[in-house]
Amino acid sequence: MLRSFALLAVSALALAACNDQASTGGGARDQIRVVGSSTVYPFTQLVAEQFVNKNPGMKAPVIESTGTGGGMKLFCAGVGAQHPDIVNASRPMKASEYATCKANGAADVIEAQVGIDGIAFAEAKNGPRIALTTADIYKALAANPGGKPNAAKTWKDVNSALPAIPIQVYGPPSTSGTRDALAELILAKGCEETDAGAKALDSDAFDKRCKAVREDGAYVDAGENDNLIVQKLQANPNALGIFGYSYLEENANKLEGAPINGVAPTYDTIAGGSYPGARPLFIYVKKAHLDAIPGLRQFLAEYAASWGKDGPLVKRGLIAAPDAVLAHSAELLSNATPLDPSTLK
């Protein structure tokens, strides 16, 4: 018995060794690696699947959902086989992130907008049908509205026209791009509307007063699992949830979108730009990897072929960007034009 064990172990070791040699030889990589936003993840997933089906010889791309911030960190860690080729982002790259990229040798980054997503406020079908404005949301969710700690307990405290139900909002964690979008698109806007002094502040003080989300339990951090928020809303009809529009669309029989400034989150209002919670979705590609990684160019071409109004990505919940934007993105990708760092914030 012992002998057969030893034999098995040795032969297995030999097998493992030659396997290793065969696939890592030279340190090159023969499949595409994508990291980043959980909002863009399902779309990149679909493109990857089509890529595999249309290019039978190619290895399947590897797509990890790490959140935009986490993805940028991995993406900007350097150039080479051990670093990802593409990062999904639910917000534009920050200047600080670009600086990291540049310091690590990945200065040439191609930026392409793949579509639009709306951050939707939603409640259960049997909810109170609350109608909010950006100013209401700012006063209810900001940590320091107007520079003072937030004391609002019910929606009525925020705006006397609203019902007296406790403020309870389930939303994404601080590592999420959706959370950044909430701060940029809704809170900052509401802040500028209600607080005339905020604009004069320097950027750090502005962020603190306008973008910080309260942490006393009224805003509940529900993690990256958006299905969980859907379940919580059904269990608690007085609560509101914040997530990407695709989840609202998929759960249309359970949830109702809450209008902001009188505009309900629908495909048309988000695509048309009248819904305040609309944000662009991006992918960033390392130029240096375009020729080094086999199939990367075809993958990007596949992406560009899928993001149109009648394309498969829209069926999956993406909101198509205006044609001019998409044409521009496709051009950037096919010409491999790196982004201009001076446009970043």
Residue numbers at the binding site for other proteins (CB under 8 A): 1-2, 9, 12-13, 16, 19-20, 22-24, 27, 29, 31, 33, 41-42, 45-46, 48-49, 52-57, 59-65, 82, 224-227, 246-247, 250, 253, 312, 315-317
**Selection from 95, 27, 44, 86 nearest residue 343 by Cα:** 95
In DSSP notation, 200-231 reads GS-HHHHIIIIIPBP-SSSEEE-TT-HHHHHH
Nearer to other proteins, 34 or 135 (CB): 34
The size of the chain, in residues, is: 345
d(CA 307, CA 325): 11
Nearer to other proteins, 6 or 103 (CB): 6
Q: How far is the CB of 29 from other proteins (least distance, A)?
A: 8
Q: How far is the CB of 112 from other proteins (least distance, A)?
A: 20
- Strand stretches in the chain, DSSP E: 33-36, 62-63, 86-89, 109-124, 169-171, 219-221, 240-244, 255-257, 278-286
Q: How far is the CB of 247 from other proteins (least distance, A)?
A: 6
What does the angle CA 207 – CA 321 – CA 45 come to, to the nearest 5 degrees?
90
Nearer to other proteins, 50 or 168 (CB): 50
Nearer to other proteins, 52 or 218 (CB): 52
Nearer to other proteins, 51 or 275 (CB): 51
Structure-token pair, residue 339: 């982004």
Q: How far is the CB of 23 from other proteins (least distance, A)?
A: 4
Q: How far is the CB of 46 from other proteins (least distance, A)?
A: 5
